[in-house]
Homo-oligomer: A and B are copies of this chain.
Amino acid sequence: MAAEPDFDRTDFAILRLLMKDAWLSNKQIAAAVGLAPSTCHERIKSLRARGVLRGAHAEVDLRAIGFALEAVLLVQLGKLEIDVVDNFVSATATVPEVRGVFLVSGRADLIVHVVARDMEHLKAIISEHFNRHAVVLRVETSVVFNRQQQHVMPLPL
């Protein structure tokens, strides 16, 4: 199903630049990787068409718009029927305050990253979207003190 495209050094360079800053103009990228703007443009179009470049998202300071609290929920589920679990994952992902959902092995079945305005809001989210569901056995809430996120290629080369 997945094609077998190999990427050369230039493709990686383009992806790396766009991961760091998606607002770079095509002209800037072309100059940085040593290509003509038209060539660079074709490369980027190809990467998009192949599904490697999926899009871009603005980074917004959520604290500035009133979301002062962040938490990670370690959720333990009950009966692990695949359909029920997948449905719950999908439903969880659509909650606006949820930033990410991970279905994982190990002690927790679900790891959920959420933002909230304050403690009361966080309580409401957990109560409404997690504790209310029968599939959820237990939720362990970890408040986030500090966070750092990377938007770089996971390759030194």
Contact = CB atoms under 8 A, between A and B. Distances in A.
B107 A142 contact: yes
Contacts of A105: 142-143, 145
A70 B102 CA distance: 10
A124 to B, nearest CB: 13
A115 B86 CA distance: 22
Contacts of A100: 147-150
Contact of A99 (B51, B101, B149): B149
B58 A15 contact: yes
Nearest to A117: B154
A106 B140 contact: yes
Contact of A111 (B2, B20, B50, B72): B72
Contact of A65 (B15, B146, B150, B151): B15
A147 B52 contact: no
Interface in A55-69: 55-62, 64-65, 67
A119 B123 CA distance: 37
Contact of A106 (B20, B60, B102, B141): B141
Contacts of A57: 18-22, 56-57, 59, 151
B19 A58 contact: yes
